Each structure stands twice: as C-alpha cells, then as structure tokens.
Structure 1
Amino acid sequence: MQQTLASKRILLGISGGIAAYKSADLVRRLKERGAEVRVILTDAAQQFITPLTLQAVSGNPVSHSLLDPAAEAAMGHIELAKWADLILIAPASADLIARLAHGLANDLLSTCVLASSAPVAVAPAMNQQMYKNIATQKNIATLSEHKFHIFGPGSGAQACGDVGAGRMLEPLELTALTERLFTPVKNLQGLHFTITAGPTREAIDPVRYISNHSSGKMGYALAAAAAKAGARVTLISGPVQLPTPAGVDRIDVLSAEQMLQAALAAAVTADIFIGCAAVADYRVAEIATDKLKKGSENELQLKLVKNPDIIATVAALQQQRPFTVGFAAETRNVLDYARQKLLNKRLDMICANDVSGSQIGFNSEQNAVSVIWRGGELDLPVQAKQQLAEQLIALISQHYQA
C-alpha cells in the first residue's frame, strides 16, 4: 500500500448516527496509507460504536470528555487541536453540522474544531429529508464559506428505509478525498490555460437581451486555481459581477460570437482550454436598432438562429489544438447527456453538473461534478467552488501531462 498519508496526523471526529459503524474501517484505511489517527467520540456516537473498538484499530486512546482530568493540565481539547494536521468528521450528523456552523463549543469535538488552525473536513450522514431541509443546507453552505471541506454525501438506500442523498461516503471514498487534500497541485509553470466563464448576452434591441443565470463563479474559481498553481491564465468572461483573480489576464465579451472570436484567438497558444461559460444556444436573427415598443398585440415573435458551438469549434482545430475540457450543465439525465457531448464534440474531458436545484450550480457557492473522460469517470462531491476548482485543475493537469 502506497504511503500517501505518511506522517500525517488525522483527528477523526465521530458523531451520532448509524454510519458510525463504518468509522472503524475508515481508521484502518487511513492507517494503511501511513496516517496516525486519533479519535474523538461525541456522547451520541458512543451509542453506536465503542471507544474500545476504535482504540484497538487506531492504536491510540479515544477521547470523549471535554474536561478530561487525565489530559495535560486537563486541557485535552487544546492538545488535540494543536496535534492535528487535519480534522475529519465522519459521520457528521445534522446536529453537529448545525453546531459547527454557529460556532458552538459545547463538547470536545466542537471545541477542538474552534481551537484548531488545521483544515476541517466533514462527511454529512443523515436521513435524506433532514439533508434536504433548508436549515441543513444553509448550515452546510455556511461551513463551505468558512473553508470547511464537504465530503459528500452519497445517495442510495438508507438505514431508515428511505432512498436519497444523505448517506455517508464509503471509507475508501473518504480516504481518497483525504489524500487529495494533502496532494498539492503540481507546479503548472509554463502551461497556458484559456478558460471561458459566465453567461453570454444576445441582444434583442438596444435595451433587451437573452441570457441565463450563470454567475461565472465556477469559471473564475478555475482561473484562480490555475493561476495559484503557476499557470498563465487567460480568462474570457461574459458579463458578471466578480473581481478578476490575481495573476489572471481577463478579456470581457458580451455575445457568443464575441466569445468565439476571443476563444479562437487565445486557444492557438493555449495548452489547456476549459469551456466553463454558459453560452446561449440561440441569438436573435435581426437585432432591432431601436427599442421595440409594446403594441396592441398580445404576442411578440422573435426569430432565433443557432449560435456557434465554441467548445466544439476549439476541439475541432486541426493545428495547435489544446487539451479541451467542456462543462455540461443539465437538469435531467445529466451523465447520459455529458457522455454524449464528450463523444459528439470530441472533447478530452467533460465536467457534468446538475443545475436543476438551488443547492449547487448557478449562483451557488457550492458545486459538485462528475468528471468523464474516455475510459474513466470520477465524482467530486458537493463542496465550495474554490475547493472543487483546485481538485479539477489538478485532475485536468494530470490527464494533460499523461
């Protein structure tokens, strides 16, 4: 077994939930990869799994009391908080997520989180209706804004008999996500990324246009992540209210035609092209020179013509073709449509995301994607867009360099 977590100190927090039975296997998987693991149990967690079990698999005493007389100066939470390179909470119940989101410190685990400067990752585990509840979604969004890493949840059959999102990810999935946190993006110095972001606007007349709900946040996060890793980045942006990421060259456009011209000009010098913009599929055939006036008719008919397919055009370049990555924002049959686009547009990779709800996608601070390439797929779970962008840039660069 490759020691991908050698010398890493992971503080595993376990809250109350039936998924706690998987935590012993999670400890074993982390230790297989070289990590040193210490465990904190909440009071509720002890109803599902015993301290003795976790002590046996971790090889370390298990903590559960906020004020432990056996701890140095009875300040165990400070000792553990300073010790950890990462705090991983799996399972993370709805109750614990709520307490962390509001900065409470009423048990050992929540106090360690507040007292530690280490990164924190939480793996939600709860009933699917509890997970969908607006309060839980707001709490998870708050954690993402506070730079917590959100691992999952998965979907499927639950212990209560329900089916849906809310299952804790499997130990191997959690281990893989933990490994990525400790695997820095390779230095991308010398590589040129061209990234499109945001919506396009297709004019109807001087004051009206056709557009969509894209905020540009995912594309801007990708540009920031690539620049942070040392790449030269050209960001071709539709109209958004976002600051230009540090170290990024930004080109502002409005329409799909303008974005196409800018993309073709930049693509011939790019090593990697990522089409993250939400480009309007159609534009008005004839733009009115003056503002259209409301007449007596109850209907207004506009003739629309198809816009150029920017990502397919770039992928079809015969000379100086970049490694081309597309995005597929769908509301149903997400993976099927994405696989079809990968083949039809001759892309190297495609990132599929479901924008049917408000939890991820357009205007959200979070996103989740399934990355598909010929011969492989990888699901990246719900998390802050900046964290997701860093994982995507690492994955895309890895496939490009291979």
Structure 2
Amino acid sequence: MLNEKNIILGVCGSIAAYKSAVLVRLLVKAGANVRVILTEGGEHFITPLTLATLSKNPVHSTYFDAETGVWANHVELGLWADLLLIAPATANTLAKLANGLCDSLLAAVYLSARCPVYVAPAMDLDMWAHPATRANMATLQRHGVTLIPPGNGELASGLSGEGRMAEPETMLDFIQQKLTGPLPLAGKFALVTAGPTYEAIDPVRFIGNHSSGKMGLALAVELHKLGASVTLVAGPGTPASPEGLNRVNIRSASDMLQACLEYYPAADITIMSAAVADYRPAQPAGQKIKKNSPTLTIDLEKTPDVLATLGAQKRPGQTLVGFALETEHEESYALAKLDKKNLDLIVLNSLNDQGAGFGTNTNKITIFNRNGEKTAFDLKPKTAVASDICAAVLRQMGL
C-alpha cells in the first residue's frame, strides 16, 4: 500500500520522539521512501544519526547546513512528498501550523506541501484538552489536515489520560487505510473462534487440547485490518487481543455455542478456528476427586457440535469457514466435514506436516471450497496464513 510512496516525517520536541525510530522502520519496511525533518526541539530527544540510518536518507533540520553547504529546499521537499506526517506533533507545532507561522524548515515545508498532511499529537492531557490547542487542531482540520487521534494511557508527566501519541503500528494502519480508500470488508461483521475448550472433570481438572489460539487471533486481526467489525470468541489461553476487537472469553464447548448463537445471526463472515473438545465428562464431580483408587473411570458424552449447529442455521449471504486438523485420510475427512456441516470453505492442516498444528507460530494449510477446488500453501507464519484464508474468503464473497 505504501510501496514507493514518498513520505516526509516531521519529528518535533517531545519525549514521544523516541517512537519515531520505530515509525521510520515500519514505513521503510512497507516500501516507502522516507525523509525526516527534525526540529530543533526534536534533536534533544533523538539523534539525526539514528533517523538517517533507519530512513537511509540524510535528516533535514535547518534551511542551510553550514558544514556541508547544502540548502534544504522546502519547496522541493513539499513537492516531492506524497504524504507529510508529523509525529510527534507538539502543542507548539500545532499552534504554528494553524496560524501560518514559518520559523522552521518543517513549517515551511508544511506551507509548501501539496500532499495530504497527517498529524499525530503528543502532549500532556491538560495541554491536549486546553481550548487553545483544540481550536488550533480544529483550524488545521478545516485546512484539510488529518488527525491521528492520540491514545489514552500513562504520560511522561506521570499522569494518565488522553494525549499519548498513537503507537507506530497504529499510525501505519491508520495511514494505509486512509490512502487505500474503503476497505473490502468495511461494513461487514465477522465472528471468529479461537483456542481450546476445557471440559470440567471436577473443579480442578479438565479435558482439553493443545490449541494456543494463535491462528484464530491472527484471523481476527486480519479481518479487522480488512475493515470488518470483529467479535472474537476466545478459549482459555488465547493471547491478548489488540484494540478494536470485541472479545468474549469462554471456557467450555457449551459456553462457545452460547456465545456463537448470540453473534452468529448478524455475522457476514464466521471463521471457526477453535479446537472444540468432542467429548466431556457426563457427570463432572462437584468436589475435587481424591486419589483413593489406582484407576479412575470417567463416562464421557459428546459436546454440542458448534460448527454443525451454525451450518444448519446459515442463511443466504453468510460465509461459514471451518477447520479440519487431521492425522490420516486428511483430504477425504476434510471434504466430508465441508459437506456435512454446510460450510463454504474448509481449512485443512495435518499434524503430519512439521511446523503445522497446535502451539506453533507457523502453519501449513490446504483450502477447499464447496466445489471441491483445492488450494495448497507452503509452511508460513500464522499471520501470513491468516492473510491467505481471508483472501479465500474475499474470493468466496466475490469481493
């Protein structure tokens, strides 16, 4: 999305300037050509050498470098840029830009730029809430400047509140979404399940499996990046979710069924990647079972089939995706599950493939659609696997 885009990053005098190093690295990694303008105040918090090394371009700070004799042409810089991003943007800089002051190279480039301008404010909560700052920001927005909203959290002053500069990853996502226009899943609602279920034997012990929840979490994050509103139904041990996802934590198969039945009717896309236990103790003990006998017999009963239940309720326009983790007859079992449970796609992974399955950061999958068409993929990180699955979902939906 940012490949070969020319981006000027303005870095002002804020403690948040330390994050600009990460931001430059992310922008370069995304394929952008990055030039940094560092204000006099910014030089107190991060060195030009750091930013020059990461951007692979000299850092500009003044109109004229007396040592090299090089003039930083603000008009040329403004015309070169496809995007001017000021992060961190201090209260002082916002005030200058809003009132057209031109006492720095960054301000001159701002006045010369014909490209979109984004600002990511960074200041203490009282400064951000002050009527003067609010008025300056409103003026900039009337002039067409885009605000990357500050976050809410711990501040350098020791206080906690709004004013914290957005994280570099958040800024990158924000910019990519703005530059690419409407996302393919904008306005869609997605339901994702992740992780294992635990079926109680007694208050202490349970029947479970080795699912880590990493695959389901990666899918939820990818769907969110594509513009969907996402609810993640997460089994025990599923890693923490980023901001923007609605998360429902569950424990048992019955819990998962209840949560899914609540959200499924409104879902456009449902991806059931959780490893739901097939059996549970028929009569869980109310107290901890004592080790008084050399053997223990537990009667098991089937858990509710969450995927089949949703498949039976599927309405026109819904896309339902299931997973099949197999150890033998992989393809025939997966295709039978696809048909029996009324799925649109099924994702097969085999425990016979090294690096696939539970507990790893990688997976190797094969996707089948309702026509039996097969698409096989190499071993990849689960984040990349999530992209492949979501791409198949988009094709299935005709998007």
TM-score (norm 1): 0.53
Q: Is the 8 A contact 1:186 1:394 kept in 2?
A: no
Equivalent residue for 2:344?
348
Going from structure 1 to structure 2, the CA distance change for 1:319 and 1:374 (only over 3 Å counts) comes to closer
Equivalent residue for 2:103?
none
Going from structure 1 to structure 2, the CA distance change for 1:323 and 1:228 (only over 3 Å counts) comes to same
Structure 1 residue 354, shift from structure 2 partner:
0.7
Q: 1:398 aligns with which of 380, 395, 399?
A: 395
Q: 2:222 aligns with which of 222, 225, 235?
A: 225
- Secondary structure of the residue aligned to 1:381 is coil
Percent identity at matched positions? 41
1:26-54 C-alpha deviation (Å, 9 max, x unpaired): xxxxxxxxxxxxxxxxxxxxxxxxxxxxx
RMSD of aligned C-alpha atoms? Answer: 2.7
Structure 1 residue 317, shift from structure 2 partner:
0.4
Equivalent residue for 1:285?
282
Equivalent residue for 2:186?
189
The one of the two structures with greater contact order (alpha-carbon pairs below 8 A, sep at least 6) is 1
1:246-270 C-alpha deviation (Å, 9 max, x unpaired): 3111000000000001011110010
Structure 1 residue 355, shift from structure 2 partner:
2.1
Query: Highest Rg: 1 or 2?
Result: 2
Equivalent residue for 1:300?
296
Structure 1 residues without counterparts, runs of 5 or longer: 1-7, 10-81, 86-114, 118-182
Going from structure 1 to structure 2, the CA distance change for 1:232 and 1:204 (only over 3 Å counts) comes to same
Going from structure 1 to structure 2, the CA distance change for 1:202 and 1:391 (only over 3 Å counts) comes to same
1:223-246 C-alpha deviation (Å, 9 max, x unpaired): 000001111000000001511133
Equivalent residue for 2:241?
244
User: What residue identity is the alignment partner of 1:384?
Assistant: P
Matches within 5 A, 1:82-121: none
- Secondary structure of the residue aligned to 2:231 is strand
Moved over 6 A (4+): none
TM-score (norm 2): 0.53
- Secondary structure of the residue aligned to 1:305 is strand
Q: Is the 8 A contact 2:253 2:304 kept in 1?
A: yes
Give the paired residue count. Answer: 229
Q: Which moved more, 1:254-263 or 1:371-380?
A: 371-380
- Secondary structure of the residue aligned to 2:313 is coil
Is residue 372 from structure 1 mapped to residue 336 from structure 2 by the alignment?
no
User: What residue identity is the alignment partner of 1:346?
Assistant: N
Structure 1 residue 322, shift from structure 2 partner:
2.7
Equivalent residue for 1:309?
305
Equivalent residue for 2:263?
266
Q: Is the 8 A contact 1:196 1:235 kept in 2?
A: yes
User: What residue identity is the alignment partner of 1:392?
Assistant: I
User: What residue identity is the alignment partner of 1:270?
Assistant: A
Matches within 5 A, 1:124-203: 187-203=184-200
1:336-378 C-alpha deviation (Å, 9 max, x unpaired): 1101101111111100001245512211111011100122111
Q: Distance in 2 between matches of 1:246 and 1:318?
A: 29
Q: Is the 8 A contact 1:329 1:355 kept in 2?
A: yes
Q: Distance in 1 between matches of 2:199 and 2:332?
A: 29
Q: 2:355 aligns with which of 337, 348, 359?
A: 359
User: What residue identity is the alignment partner of 1:383?
Assistant: K
Equivalent residue for 1:383?
380
Structure 2 residues without counterparts, runs of 5 or longer: 5-27, 32-53, 57-179
- Secondary structure of the residue aligned to 2:365 is strand
Q: Distance in 1 between matches of 2:316 and 2:304?
A: 20
